[in-house]
Homo-oligomer: A and B are copies of this chain.
Amino acid sequence: MNTRVLTQNGSPLHEVVRAEISRRIADGIYKPGDAIMSTAQLGEEFGVSSITVKRALRDLQSAGVLTSIPGKGTFVKDRRRFIREVDVCMSSQDDARRHGFDTKIELVSITKERITDPALGVFNVPSKVLLCVRKVIYADGVPIMYDSSYVPTHIADEIVDEFGELYIVDALRRHNVDIEDVSIIIDASPASADAQRIFSVPNGYPTLRRLYDIKSKDPAMFVIGIVESPFDRLACSVKLNSLQLSKMTKARK
């Protein structure tokens, strides 16, 4: 039949379909929140098999443009809730409020385990069993961060409890822990298995991660952890003023 339509410009068919659907979204033909046509309809319109359409739609899901709900349809993701101005240092509740977000923290689990995530290997991680506090942070009801933090097992129970309810720096500050040094590494990564489930994103979905290593004056007290966020829900901002810049310039001479 229509088998020989083929690849207008050398691109595979699924890319052509993907590009056309992207165009329609960019042009506002398909609007955020709306359902687009079914795979069968699109296949007929483009003269390709519905499987090829599905392939194109799946790629657009990986790109954060579409969401498919089995049995209902495929929808254009609404406004990319691009939360800016989140400070690069550990976020605090104040920080969030200052930017007008109603945040909520949900404790996922408190377990005893070793650090196994190879990503944290960039820090000098102890091989001992540590206390692992996992939690999800919501902004306006939407999950935006998945945090796993590791602390020594011997720390006071009251601090542990607060770790589940508070931002880390807030909890430490409350107990007058003297933070001496903070290393943060920011990177991107495909969503972890946990993140896929928590954020309802597909395999391979890009996420922004912050790996942190907080050292206090007491060598027995430290916090190591990792925060993961879907790329379309969070970004980090850094501001450098002229004072800092001149310092940097000098330091480099």
Count of identical protomers in the assembly: 2
Check if A29 is an interface residue, CB within 8 A of chain B.
no
For the complex, give the distance between the alpha carbons of A240 and B169 in Å.
13
Residue in B63, B190, B205, B238 whose beta carbon sits within 8 Å of that of A64 in the complex: B190
Check if A67 is an interface residue, CB within 8 A of chain B.
no
Across the two chains, which residue of chain B brings its CB closest to A186? Answer: B236
Check if A227 is an interface residue, CB within 8 A of chain B.
no
- Asked if residues B204 and A122 are in contact (CB atoms below 8 Å), the reply is no
For the complex, give the distance between the alpha carbons of A236 and B82 in Å.
20
- Asked if residues A89 and B207 are in contact (CB atoms below 8 Å), the reply is no
Residue in B62, B183, B231, B240 whose beta carbon sits within 8 Å of that of A187 in the complex: B231
For the complex, give the distance between the alpha carbons of A178 and B186 in Å.
28
Across the two chains, which residue of chain B brings its CB closest to A58? Answer: B204
Residue in B63, B182, B186, B241 whose beta carbon sits within 8 Å of that of A240 in the complex: B182
For the complex, give the distance between the alpha carbons of A236 and B234 in Å.
16
Measured between C-beta atoms, what is the minimum distance from A86 to chain B in Å? 10
- Asked if residues A63 and B204 are in contact (CB atoms below 8 Å), the reply is yes
- Asked if residues B59 and A237 are in contact (CB atoms below 8 Å), the reply is no
Contact A62/B122 with A88-B238, A239-B181 known, Cβ cut-off 8 Å: no
Check if A221 is an interface residue, CB within 8 A of chain B.
no
- Asked if residues B63 and A252 are in contact (CB atoms below 8 Å), the reply is no
For the complex, give the distance between the alpha carbons of A23 and B150 in Å.
25
Interface-facing stretch out of A69-77, A101-109, A133-141, A242-250: A242-250
A59: chain B residues at CB < 8 Å are 203-204
Check if A48 is an interface residue, CB within 8 A of chain B.
no
- Asked if residues B204 and A207 are in contact (CB atoms below 8 Å), the reply is no
Q: Scan A153-197; emit 1 where CB is below 8 A from any B CB, else 0.
A: 000000000000000000001000011111111111110000000
Contact A231/B62 with A181-B239, A245-B182 known, Cβ cut-off 8 Å: no
- Asked if residues B184 and A240 are in contact (CB atoms below 8 Å), the reply is yes
